[in-house]
Amino acid sequence: MPFQKKKDKLQRMWMACVLIEEYIATNYGCGGNLHIILDDGNYRDADVNLCHVTSTEKGDVFGMNICQILGSMKEEERRAIVENSYIIENVIKRDDC
């Protein structure tokens, strides 16, 4: 994979981690309109689409944006991001990075 493609992919994955952690924080520690993905561990395209529809119906722009980012990823990438977003975000925030 060319360097720029890898860089773009890493930036997209990093952004998803940050947004997911912020989204959970704004929903009092739970997944809100994205609970099917964030709380229940469902990572299929259909799950992302359902969460996107739910977020759209509720006017949840934050959730819609996260779904768009997750929708551009493979299922195993989604799983890695969601299950490790807290760890990844904290590593990124460290001063020595």
What pLDDT is attached to residue 97?
45
pLDDT value of position 52 = 97
Question: Has residue 96 got a pLDDT over 70?
Answer: no
Q: What is the mean pLDDT of residues 81-87?
A: 80
Long-range Cβ pairs for the range 39-46 (8 Å, 24+): 41/79, 41/82, 41/83, 43/75, 43/76, 43/78, 43/79, 43/82, 44/75, 45/71, 45/75
pLDDT tens digit sequence for 13-72: 888 888 888 898 888 788 899 999 999 999 999 999 999 999 999 999 999 999 999 999
Check pLDDT > 70 for residue 73.
yes
Number of domains in the chain: 1
Domain span at residue 21 reads 3-93
Residue 95 has pLDDT above 80, yes or no: no
Q: In whole angstroms, how far apart are CA 66 and each of 25, 42, 52, 59, 78?
A: 14, 15, 8, 13, 11
